[in-house]
Structure 1
């Protein structure tokens, strides 16, 4: 099976779009960073280093210090596909992140986004 183009795309290229999407809805870059840190276990410094080094999505998730075990509680549809039904692990991680950013942009409370 051919690898998806997004796997080799730099997270740093997509990150500004996450921030813009959030800010258009009155949310903040700090909230986007908090979501990414919650999902991946990166510290703020670690996240910034990944972005600066232009790591691709596959490497970004492979090097994540601690993928949050509660991420399996993320349910719903993103890009017409249920995130809980995605079988490719990297694609599922990417879609988890997309879903969380969508929830942020839709005004959901951070404690609900972070599955507390």
Structure 2
């Protein structure tokens, strides 16, 4: 089975698109970073290191300090697929992040986006 090309794309290039999306909708990079750190366990310094190193999406998720234990609470449709039904674990992690970014862009409350937690991290 062929690997999806998004797996090899640099996280930094995807991050730029996320920033454009949330800022276009009147939200901040800080909000974006908060959902990324909540999901992956990267701290601010770790996220900056990842962005500077140009690692790919596969490595970004493989090296994530700790996926949030509430990740299973992320439900809904993204890119035409229900995130909870995606079978490939890496693609599911990518789509979880896409879903969170969409929620930030739509202006959903941060406590709702973070599935009830007030802060980033686990």
Report the TM-score, using the length of structure 1 for normalisation: 0.98
Question: What value does the CA root-mean-square deviation take over the aligned residues?
Answer: 0.5
Residue 34 of structure 1 is matched in structure 2 by 34
Residue 44 of structure 1 is matched in structure 2 by 44
Equivalent-residue separation in structure 1 for 2:25 and 2:6 (angstroms): 25
Deviations 1:2-61 (A, max 9, x none): 111000100100101101111111110000000000000001000110111001010000
Residue correspondence of structure 1 range 48-59 to structure 2 within 5 A: 48-59=48-59
Total equivalences in the alignment? 116
Residue 65 of structure 1 is matched in structure 2 by 65
Equivalent-residue separation in structure 1 for 2:84 and 2:2 (angstroms): 22
Unaligned runs of 5+ in 2: 117-122
Residue 2 of structure 1 is matched in structure 2 by 2
Residue 21 of structure 1 is matched in structure 2 by 21
Q: Runs ≥4 in structure 1, deviation > 3 angstroms?
A: none
Report the TM-score, using the length of structure 2 for normalisation: 0.94
Unaligned runs of 5+ in 1: none
Residue 74 of structure 1 is matched in structure 2 by 74
Shift of 1:111: 0.5
Shift of 1:114: 0.4
